């Protein structure tokens, strides 16, 4: 609290990110980072970009990266918007496209940054409950709205909504913008970017933080109709004209140029996720079917907060949300196989205690 804060700041409830501990040797399974390094080509490109040219501003539109991403997805450059992380792209989207008279619709259990942006930009929203199995029913969204947003696969559940259901929603919702946040889509879903040429009110947002192992580089993008992209650019150019630095642009382009590394990395995580799910089931956990790089699990006989504390004491951090309906779940990011085995061994001990 401070007398110098604006009224808006007084009213904010900021997002609280997962812990980034300063202690070494902890096994970090709490923020859905990728346990494997980015492509060596990314590191080489960043090293090359670390030159005297850093005295110059970067390209304001990150055009070379835009062209790369557009070509990768078979789109035109005008259909791509680049931002400093998908959180930034989301923030601009809320301000540019989702603030209208009718409330924004989003699932009750979803990425917890969405309500934070609503608070920041004064957007009214309505939470639509997921069903008892944490599934999104698209028919629930066929009501007056100023926009619709959800993550697919959803976070923190990991549940996937099929593309035909998304298309059903788009067919029945033509007057407001529908946004799908695909932060985790490469771990088990099919991107809905394939639908954007058919629906001018559809925006898909992705990040390089998860499947491309580049959380530290901060690169995200949106794909959609050029008019939606122009709206995002209007906000961006009223906020920060140069969101991506030269190193980020070089590294991100190199990532899209190493498809083999990307595919191997995703396949390794999917295989580990399936093994971890089996092990957790074996220990009596109920694990939601996940298409992401994390699992969401509860145990019918054990208090998960205590398990999380026990894991922390054993040097392993996972994520627990105090939110209603999901407070008995743990969200566990997929680590290397060694990390997943350490988790399972620690849980075995805690469950016996
Ligand atoms: C659903 C979802 N969207 C977006 C993000 C933000 O990703 P970034 O800002 O690293 O691009 C996250 C991060 O955890 C997420 O879970």
What is the per-residue pLDDT across 4-62, written as a single tens digit (0 to 9) for each? 999 999 999 999 888 888 877 899 999 999 999 999 999 999 999 999 999 999 999 99
Cα 164 to middle of ligand 1, angstroms = 24
- What integer pLDDT is reported at residue 21 of this predicted model? 85
Give me the pLDDT at residue 22, please. 82
Atom 13 in ligand 1: residue holding the nearest Cα: 183
Most ligand 1 atoms within 8 A of CB, residue of 33, 207, 215 to mutate: 207
Query: 59-89 pLDDT, tens per residue?
Result: 999 999 999 999 999 999 999 999 999 999 9
Minimum-distance ligand 1 atom for the alpha carbon of 208: 11
What pLDDT score was predicted for residue 300?
95
> Ligand 1, residues 86, 157, 219: which to mutate, most atoms within 8 A of Cβ?
86
**pLDDT at residue 25, as a whole number:** 84
Give the CA count within 13 Å in the CB-facing half-sphere of 316: 25
| Residue 32 CB less than 6 A away from ligand 1 | yes
93 ligand 1 Cβ < 6 A:
no
Which pLDDT belongs to residue 151?
98
CB 151 near ligand 1, within 6 Å? yes
Instruction: Decide: 155 in ligand 1 pocket, CB within 6 A.
Output: yes
What values do phi and psi take at 180, rounded to 5? Answer: -115, 125
Compute the distance from residue 52 Cα to the ligand 1 centre, in Å.
32
Q: How far is the CA of 210 from the centre of ligand 1 (A)?
A: 8
Please give the pLDDT value at position 24. Answer: 78
Evaluate: CB of 145 within 6 angstroms of ligand 1. Answer: no
The CA 2 to ligand 1 mean position distance, Å, reads 30
Residue 258 CB–ligand 1 contact under 6 Å: no
The minimum-distance atom of ligand 1 relative to the CA of 220 is 11
Predicted local confidence at residue 23, as pLDDT = 78
Q: Closest Cα to residue 273, out of 292, 253, 245, 256?
A: 292
For residue 20, the model assigns a pLDDT of 85
For the CA of 154, the nearest atom of ligand 1:
1
**Full-prediction pTM beyond 0.95?**
yes
Place of tokens 């191997």: 264
* Residuewise pLDDT in 10s, the chain (353 residues): 899 999 999 999 999 888 888 877 899 999 999 999 999 999 999 999 999 999 999 999 999 999 999 999 999 999 999 999 999 999 999 999 999 999 999 999 999 999 999 999 999 999 999 999 999 999 999 999 999 999 999 999 999 999 999 999 999 999 999 999 999 999 999 999 999 999 999 999 999 999 999 999 999 999 999 999 999 999 999 999 999 999 999 999 999 999 999 999 999 999 999 999 999 999 999 999 999 999 999 999 999 999 999 999 999 999 999 999 999 999 999 999 999 999 999 999 999 97
Position in ligand 1 atom list of the atom nearest CA 215: 10
pLDDT of the residue at 192: 98
Indicate if ligand 1 lies below 6 Å from the C-beta of 154: no
């Amino acid at each position: 609290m401070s007398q110098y804060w604006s009224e808006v700041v007084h009213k904010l409830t900021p997002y609280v990110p997962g812990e980034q501990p300063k202690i070494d040797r902890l096994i970090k399974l709490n923020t859905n980072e990728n346990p494997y390094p980015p492509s060596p080509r990314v590191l080489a490109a960043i090293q090359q970009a670390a030159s005297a040219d850093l005295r110059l501003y970067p390209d304001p539109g990150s055009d070379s990266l835009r062209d790369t991403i557009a070509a990768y997805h078979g789109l035109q450059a005008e259909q791509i918007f680049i931002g400093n992380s998908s959180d930034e792209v989301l923030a601009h989207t809320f301000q540019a496209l989702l603030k209208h008279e009718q409330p924004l619709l989003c699932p009750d259990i979803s990425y917890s940054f969405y309500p934070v942006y609503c608070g920041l930009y004064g957007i009214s929203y309505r939470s639509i409950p997921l069903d008892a199995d944490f599934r999104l029913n698209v028919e629930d969204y066929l009501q007056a709205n100023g926009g619709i947003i959800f993550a697919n696969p959803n976070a923190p559940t990991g549940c996937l909504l099929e593309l035909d259901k998304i298309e059903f929603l788009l067919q029945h919702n033509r007057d407001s913008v529908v946004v799908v946040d695909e932060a985790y889509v490469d771990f088990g879903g099919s991107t809905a970017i394939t639908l954007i040429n058919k629906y001018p009110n559809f925006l898909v947002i992705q990040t390089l933080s998860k499947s491309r192992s580049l959380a530290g580089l901060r690169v995200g993008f949106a794909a959609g109709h050029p008019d939606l992209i122009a709206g995002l650019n209007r906000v961006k150019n009223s906020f920060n004209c140069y969101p991506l630095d030269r190193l980020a642009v070089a590294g991100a382009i190199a990532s899209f140029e190493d498809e083999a590394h990307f595919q191997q990395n995703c396949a390794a995580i999917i295989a580990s996720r399936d093994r971890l799910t089996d092990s957790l089931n074996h220990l009596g956990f109920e694990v939601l079917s996940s298409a992401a790089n994390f699992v969401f699990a509860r145990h019918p006989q054990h208090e998960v907060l205590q398990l999380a504390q026990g894991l922390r004491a054993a040097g392993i951090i996972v994520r627990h949300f105090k939110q209603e309906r999901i407070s008995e779940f743990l969200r566990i990011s997929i680590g290397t196989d060694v990390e997943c085995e350490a988790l399972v061994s620690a849980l075995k001990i805690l469950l016996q205690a």
